[in-house]
Amino acid sequence: IAHPERSAMLLSPAFRAVVNAVRPLIRLMNWISNGLVRLCRVTPRDELTSVHNRDQLTHLIEESERLGLISKGDSGLMTRSLTEPQAPVSTLQIPAERIATVPADAGLDEVLATAAEADRTRLLVRDGEEILGSVHARDALVARARSRAALARDLARPVPELAPEETAAHAVEQLRERRATIAVVRDGEGRLTGLVSLDDLLARLLHPQTPPEAAS
C-alpha cells in the first residue's frame, strides 16, 4: 500500500459499519452455542475464571526456569514478587533493643546528640514504657534555629502499630495510608518487639537477602 495511513482513514468508517452490523448476529450465535454447551453440562470456556494461587504460580515459574524459558534472574525476581509480600513483619523488624529512643522530656540538644550518637535521623519518643511517637532530627534543628523551647514530646509524631504476624504488603499499605515512614511492632500482650520502616520493607521486597537496617 503506497499510503497506508490515508487508506486506513478511508476504510475505517466502512469497517466500523460492518462490525456494528454483524455484532448482534455474533452475539446471538455466541449465546446459542453457549446454551448448547450448557445442555451438555459443560461450562463455556469464556465464562471460566482462570485463577492460580501463589503456590501454583511459583511452580510454573520454577518449571519455566528449568525448561530454559526464562533466566534464573527473572525467575528469582518473579518468585520474590509472589512470596516476599507475604513475609511477616517479625522477620523484617529491627529488634527492640536496637531502637534509638529519647525520653519525652528530652530537650532539643539531647535529641540532636542522641541522633548523632546513634547515627539515626528518626528517634522514638518514650514516656516510660509508652511510645508517644517519633521525632525527626530535622524538626529539632528547625526548632533550635527558631529559638523555640520544645521538648521531644512536643515534636513527636504518631507512629502506626503493627502485629508481628502482619505481612510486609499490609505493612506498606498501612504506612502509606497513615503517611508514615516507620511503625512499631507489638506482640499480643502489647510489648514492643521491634520497628519497621517503609524503606526497609520496600528494600526487602526487591532484595530479600538484605538485612533490615534502622530507619534513617
pLDDT digits (tens, 9 = 90+) for 102-137: 999 999 999 999 999 988 889 999 998 889 999 999
**Between 195 and 38, the higher pLDDT residue:** 195
Task: Name the percent of the chain lying above pLDDT 70.
Answer: 85
Q: Is residue 128 located within the same domain as residue 69?
A: no
Number of folded domains that form the chain: 3
The confidence score (pLDDT) of residue 83 equals 67
The confidence score (pLDDT) of residue 49 equals 52
**Domain harbouring 123, CATH code:** 3.10.580.10
Q: Is residue 111 located within the same domain as residue 25?
A: no
Inside any domain, residue 141: yes
Inside any domain, residue 162: yes
pTM: 0.55
Q: Is residue 65 located within the same domain as residue 168?
A: no
Asked whether the predicted pLDDT for residue 183 surpasses 50, the reply is yes
**Burial annotation 41-54 (CB, 10 A radius, 16+ → b, else e):** eeeeeeeeeeeeee
Inside any domain, residue 214: no
Asked whether the predicted pLDDT for residue 215 surpasses 50, the reply is no
Q: Is residue 128 located within the same domain as residue 161?
A: yes
Q: Is residue 75 located within the same domain as residue 154?
A: no
Average pLDDT over residues 9-24: 88
Inside any domain, residue 70: yes
What is the bridge-based pairing of β-strands 161-162 and 130-136?
A: unpaired
Asked whether the predicted pLDDT for residue 169 surpasses 60, the reply is yes
Q: What is the mean pLDDT of the chain?
A: 83
The confidence score (pLDDT) of residue 53 equals 66
Triad 43, 44, 48: Cα angle to 5° = 80
Q: How far apart are CA 122 and CA 216, in angstroms?
A: 6
Question: In 3D, which of 208, 154, 212 has the Cα closest to residue 183?
Answer: 212
The strand pairing partners of 157, in sequence order, are 134
The confidence score (pLDDT) of residue 177 equals 87
Q: Is residue 42 located within the same domain as residue 66?
A: no
Beta-carbon count within 10 A of 119 CB: 9
Range of the domain at 138: 89-206
The confidence score (pLDDT) of residue 213 equals 47
Q: Is residue 93 located within the same domain as residue 189?
A: yes
In contact, 104 and 132? CB cutoff 8 Å: yes
Average pLDDT over residues 88-114: 91
Residue-wise pLDDT tens digits, 19-77 = 889 999 988 998 898 888 888 887 766 544 555 566 777 778 888 888 888 888 878 77
Q: Is residue 185 located within the same domain as residue 99?
A: yes
**Between 7 and 134, the higher pLDDT residue:** 134
Question: In 3D, which of 193, 169, 197, 186 has the Cα closest to residue 85?
Answer: 169
Q: Is residue 99 located within the same domain as residue 122?
A: yes
In contact, 153 and 128? CB cutoff 8 Å: no
* Residue tagged 459499519 (cell numbers): 17
Average pLDDT over residues 146-168: 91
Q: Is residue 71 located within the same domain as residue 109?
A: no
Q: Is residue 163 located within the same domain as residue 135?
A: yes
Inside any domain, residue 64: yes
Q: How far apart are CA 80 and CA 101, in angstroms?
A: 33
Inside any domain, residue 211: no
Q: Is residue 71 located within the same domain as residue 125?
A: no
Asked whether the predicted pLDDT for residue 142 surpasses 90, the reply is yes
Task: Name the percent of the chain lying above pLDDT 90.
Answer: 31
Helices (H), 51-151: 54-66, 72-83, 108-118, 137-145
